[in-house]
Amino acid sequence: MSDFQGMEDLLQDFLVEANDLLSDVDNKLVDLEQRPQDHGLLNDIFRGFHTIKGGAGFLNAGELVTLCHLTENLFDRLRNGELQVTGEIMDVILEATGAVREMFGALDGGVLPQAASPGLIANLKAAIEGKLNMSFSQGEPVAAVSAPESSSNSEPDWDQLFSAVTSPGSGMVVPASVPKAIDTPELHHEVIGESPEQIIQAAIGRRSVDKSGQHGPVGRRETEKTRDNSIRVDTSRLDQVLNLSGEIGLTKNRLTSLRSDILNGRSDTDTLHALDQAVSQLDLLVSDLQNAVMKTRMQPIGRLFQKYPRIARDLARSLGKDVELVLAGEETEIDKTMIEDLSDPIIHLIRNAVDHGVEPTEDRIALGKSGKSQVRLEARQEGDHIVLLVADDGRGMNAERLRAKALEKGLITDEEANTMDERQSFNLIFLPGFSTKDVASDVSGRGVGMDVVRTNIQKLNGSIEIKSQQGKGTTFVISLPLTLAILPVLLVQLGAQPFAVPLSMVREILPIEVTQVQEVGGRATMVVRGEVMPIYPLSYMLGWAAEAVPGYGVLMQSAEHTFILAIDGFMGREDAVIKSLEDFRPKGVAGVTTLSNGQIVLILDMKELIQELGEGRGVPRSTFFEALEAVA
């Protein structure tokens, strides 16, 4: 049973606001590390913890109140100049924010959070009293720690520490085990020793599927689903939707009146002109209403970006590097449904930049670069697409080395390696199992991360491109549609049957003549501006009998394939409203849409159709002659 019976709405409101506040606090903490004397940052962080504490008090979450109160007291002394921000204090504060986020996870599960670890509480109290640095600088308590170095990964004896801190009349913490809990090297070890997954979890919190050991109330999944599907909308946008709805109502009344006039025999020029004007106005209003409704789904991408500075900071420290994450274009808006799906790809790209992209500080200085490397995360809108950039100023990528590594791992053949250009060589990093590291570590080396990036981007009907220059750095360019609700498509024909293919994959439309079709390696191909392209007849991909020779080819390009789709004809471009096939989804079909004449058209999933062709991915030239025989 939930610990918050009858307070579910209040709890969800608190969690939404508190998570935003804590993410903002995390970003300000990263800034504070660079500007420790900034009183504005200190005041903002103090207010953040104070607000979270107040909300937790309403919910009777006493342990969360206690933790926030101690952290708030620490910042009160920092902002009043009684203490100075140091690396040791920052470690304690960041550990506290991680504990607060875990408590949010417990609250989300409908249970009151348990107390923070005694070690964290002791560290906070020592920091408030100004004894954290003193205990580190004295050095003697560190030597008194009996734990051997070989067991540095083992847990401290929290029970002994807690009893030492809370025993009556203890006053200052004297036992040898206590300095270990507040010793700076141990604090630093908590960051260095954690795996990247633990660092990311501490920075962005547990997802609903990760809450091990917590059993929420019955119906919890429905609560989570409702929360995941909620969205914050500016009231001005809702006002615009309401105004447009009212205008459409007035136009509808006008059309009803004109309909009555026409039914009563009035079909003069003035009546028909008024009808034409009313229909044109309705068309304009419906278009405006559609755009206004789509805008209510748009959210600033800054809400996604705000959790990454902390991740980049902690990962860089765990690798012994000095990295600054620079954010740009945070006000750019993107469809809310995409935000969650973009989280993992961007995390992997940032990890890749910090681990593989940027050099260690010593190497950078030796190369004449700044000791602090910079990773840039940027978003901007270009036409009907959102472009995301993840760029670093590191060592860049070596196309020849990438090809050699792929050959070594058996991912490509010698023939393929010899025909690859620089762009294709860079794209090798997206192959499952590919990694430039010989030994896998906690951060990378298993060849999984970049494959996840490409897969998730493709699910969003997007594309990813790599630009790199040796010694200068690497940039990943992600292009995404503004929304997933409307998909620009090209309507193609197979006989009299129309199909829709994503316009984002279309590069150009070409006429096909059988005399131009050549066979290379058992595959039908065409030469387009000096480049040999495989041809896939749409009828062959769908398993239909060829009734005519394809007259046109659509040059299509995805992240890993460029090919010509042979079709009988095309009908033009259309913005399709996608309807999913939830109960029955044939292979190679992404969904359906309805044309203006009411005809239902299948939207093809070209990536899945290509995969269905198998490893050979070839159609013999004789396929086209079979079509000629069928026509004859």
pLDDT digits (tens, 9 = 90+) for 415-441: 888 888 888 888 888 888 777 665 444
Strand order, beta sheet including 552-557: 506-511, 552-557, 562-567, 531-537, 523-528, 518-520
DSSP class per residue in 320-386: T--EEEEEE-TT-EEEHHHHHHHHHHHHHHHHHIIIIISPPHHHHHHTT--SSEEEEEEEEEETTEE
Read out DSSP for 554-580?
Answer: EEEE-SS-EEEEEESEEEEEEEEE-B-
CA distance 190 to 203: 14
The letter for the amino acid at 407 is: L
Tokens of 192: 């260095």
CA 373 vs CA 313, 316, 353, 369: distances in Å? 12, 10, 10, 8
Contacts of 539 (CB under 8 A, 6+ apart): 494, 545, 546, 547, 550, 627
Chain position carrying tokens 């010509």: 564
Percent of the chain that is helix, strand, coil (3-state, to 5): 50, 20, 30
- 340: number of CA atoms within 13 Å, CB side? 9
Residues of the chain with pLDDT under 70: 1, 133-229, 436-449, 559-560, 582-583, 585, 614-618, 623-632
**516 Cβ neighbours under 8 A, 6+ residues apart:** 526, 527
What pLDDT is recorded for position 551? Answer: 86
3-state secondary structure of 465: strand
Q: Report how far residue 41's alpha carbon sits from residue 600's, in angstroms, rounded to the nearest whole number.
A: 57
Residue 527: count of CB within 10 angstroms of its CB: 11
Residue 317's Cβ-side half-sphere holds a number of Cα atoms within 13 Å equal to: 20
What is the residue whose two structure tokens read 């024909």?
Answer: 493
Region at 219 (left for phi over 0; alpha for psi -120 to 50; beta for the rest): left
- The residue whose two tokens read 């990036």 is 453
At residue 253, the 3 state secondary structure works out as helix
CB-based burial label for 226 (10 Å; 0-12, 13-18, 19+): exposed
φ, ψ dihedrals at 361, nearest 5°: -55, -45
pLDDT in the model for residue 229: 67
